[in-house]
């Protein structure tokens, strides 16, 4: 068993880690932290965890500490900047770290500082940090000490567009219209997440620019370059929307097929190209009908449907994940499995909760 810490366990990602690690045969939670609720037990904060005592390795009477105990592995669920500081300390004591914040996702410090409006707390670590998308970087993740797990919108959109950019079938001009459930906003209290405001409502947000866009751009440019279709930049519009559901992201992506592709590719051929790209992936499933966010509910799966809009020559790719699982915690565990040399699906198998 690998001893594991959850840093900032009182967040929604912290809670979801407890749920998923309760099913994991090799990772044992031995330390949990949170600043504001230190001294409380897990069951004080989340009474439902009392149910785990009898049948899992999670101990609901575990006391939340201010600082983590020494562990082999740690999941960092802090906001950016605070996350980097915790990561530095964890790495110093030899703990392998999966960071769920944005602090180590962007390779270019200048881009980070432009979007996050502060000086990067630990730029020296950027070179060794690996972007935590196993579907792209599993070899590098396997040897990493620090993995930066990507954001929920980013994961869903990157998986949607990777094959298109890697194979060079689209022009560098993309619109991602992303729709997310409300748990993505976190456990903090805001008027926008009040049930009476959010229920029966839908609204765009971050219209001036959302911080997940640079991650998406970075990864699509990298995919294009590694696929032999290097691009200087991508003209990308990314617009997120809040949807009245707890979990789930649907990214609808629009791109224009490249001149050669538009003549040679049918909808069926595009599905085939995607299936071939993702062949053997345990969590990415290319389907031939519009996907539903609910298919992924509570699971680490991603469902992708790429198709040709024949009237316009546009590629439309629809991609669904659970924002808290493949969009956050499930992917973090997949990264941990990869770092530790285990099958990526260890403790993560299973279908979405349907209906």
Tell which one of 32, 34, 49, 170 touches a copy of itself (CB under 8 A).
49
Q: Are 100 and 329 in contact (CB under 8 A)?
A: yes
Choosing from 104, 131, 274, 303, the residue that interacts with a copy of itself (CB under 8 A) is: 303
Residue 125 DSSP symbol: G
Least distance from C-beta 301 to a copy of itself, angstroms?
Answer: 4
The residues in 169-208 that bind a copy of itself, with binding defined as CB under 8 A, are 175, 177, 179, 181-183, 185, 187, 189-191, 193-205, 207
* Only segment of 51-59, 66-74, 154-162, 221-229 that touches a copy of itself (CB under 8 A): 51-59
- The nearest distance, CB 110 to a copy of itself, in angstroms, is 16
What's the CA gap between 160 and 11, in Å, rounded?
27
Rg of the chain taking only CA atoms, in angstroms:
20
- Per CB under 8 A, does 299 bind a copy of itself? yes
Q: What CA–CA distance (Å, rounded) separates 60 from 73?
A: 20
User: Between 87 and 100, whose beta carbon lies closer to a copy of itself?
Assistant: 100
**Among 153, 210, 212, 247, contact with a copy of itself (rule: CB under 8 A):** 247
Q: Which of 6, 7, 15, 97 binds a copy of itself (CB under 8 A)?
A: 15
Least Å distance, CB 113 to a copy of itself, is 17
Residues 54-73 that bind a copy of itself (CB under 8 A): 54-56, 58
Task: Compute the least distance from the CB of residue 188 to a copy of itself, in Å.
Answer: 9
For residues 174 and 221, what is the distance between their CA atoms, to the nearest angstrom?
12
Q: How far apart are CA 149 and CA 317, in angstroms?
A: 23
Q: Report if residue 335 touches a copy of itself, rule: CB under 8 A.
A: no
Give the dihedral sign, CA 271/277/279/280.
negative
Active site residues: 152
Q: At what angle do helices 330-339 and 134-142 cross, to 10 degrees?
A: 40
**147 Cβ partners below 8 Å, 6+ apart?**
97, 98, 99, 129, 130, 131, 132, 141, 332, 335, 339
Q: Which is nearer to a copy of itself, 137 or 303 (CB)?
A: 303
Question: Considering all CA atoms of the chain, what is the largest pairwise distance in Å, rounded to the nearest integer?
Answer: 64
Which residues in the 100-159 window bind a copy of itself by CB under 8 A?
A: none
* Strand ranges inside 261-355, DSSP E: 284-286, 302-309, 314-321
Site for a copy of itself in 224-243 (CB under 8 A): 235-237, 239, 241, 243
Which CB atom, from 35 or from 194, has the smaller least distance to a copy of itself?
194
Q: Nearer Cβ to a copy of itself, position 53 or 109?
A: 53
Query: From the list 38, 65, 245, 340, which residue makes contact with a copy of itself (rule: CB under 8 A)?
Result: 245
Output the DSSP codes for 255-267.
EEEPHHHHHH--H
C-alpha span between 210 and 216 (Å, rounded): 11
List the interface residues with a copy of itself, window 264-293 (CB under 8 A).
280-283, 285, 287, 289-293
Q: Any contact of residue 214 with a copy of itself (CB under 8 A)?
A: no
């Amino acid at each position: 068993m690998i001893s594991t810490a959850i840093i900032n366990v009182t967040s929604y990602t912290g809670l979801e880690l407890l749920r998923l690690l309760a099913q994991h045969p090799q990772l044992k939670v031995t330390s949990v932290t949170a600043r504001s609720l230190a001294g409380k037990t897990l069951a004080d904060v989340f009474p439902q965890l009392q149910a785990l005592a009898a049948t899992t390795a999670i101990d609901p009477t575990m006391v939340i500490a201010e600082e983590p105990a020494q562990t082999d592995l740690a999941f960092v669920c802090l906001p950016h900047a605070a996350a980097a500081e915790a990561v530095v300390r964890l790495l110093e004591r030899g703990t392998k770290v999966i960071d769920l914040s944005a602090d180590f996702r962007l390779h270019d410090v200048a881009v980070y500082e432009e979007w996050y409006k502060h000086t990067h707390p630990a730029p020296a670590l950027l070179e060794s940090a690996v972007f935590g998308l196993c579907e792209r970087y599993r070899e590098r993740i396997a040897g990493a000490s620090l993995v930066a797990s990507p954001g929920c919108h980013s994961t869903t959109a990157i998986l949607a567009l990777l094959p298109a950019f890697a194979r060079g079938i689209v022009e560098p001009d993309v619109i991602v219209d992303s729709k997310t459930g409300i748990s993505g906003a976190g456990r903090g209290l805001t008027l926008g997440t009040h049930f009476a405001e959010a229920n029966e409502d839908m609204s765009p947000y971050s219209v001036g620019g959302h911080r997940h866009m640079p991650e998406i751009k970075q990864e699509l440019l990298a995919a294009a370059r590694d696929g032999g279709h290097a691009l200087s930049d991508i003209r990308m519009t990314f617009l997120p929307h809040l949807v009245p559901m707890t979990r789930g992201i649907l990214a609808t992506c629009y791109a224009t097929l490249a001149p050669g592709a538009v003549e040679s590719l049918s909808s069926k051929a595009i599905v085939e190209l995607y299936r071939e790209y993702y062949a053997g992936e345990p969590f990415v499933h290319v389907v031939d009908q519009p996907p539903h966010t609910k298919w992924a509910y509570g699971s680490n799966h991603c469902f992708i449907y790429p198709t040709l809009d024949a009237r316009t020559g546009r590629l439309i790719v629809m991609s669904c994940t659970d924002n808290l699982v493949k969009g956050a915690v499930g992917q973090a565990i997949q990264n941990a499995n990869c770092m530790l040399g285990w099958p990526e699906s260890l403790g993560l198998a299973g279908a979405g909760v349907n209906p």
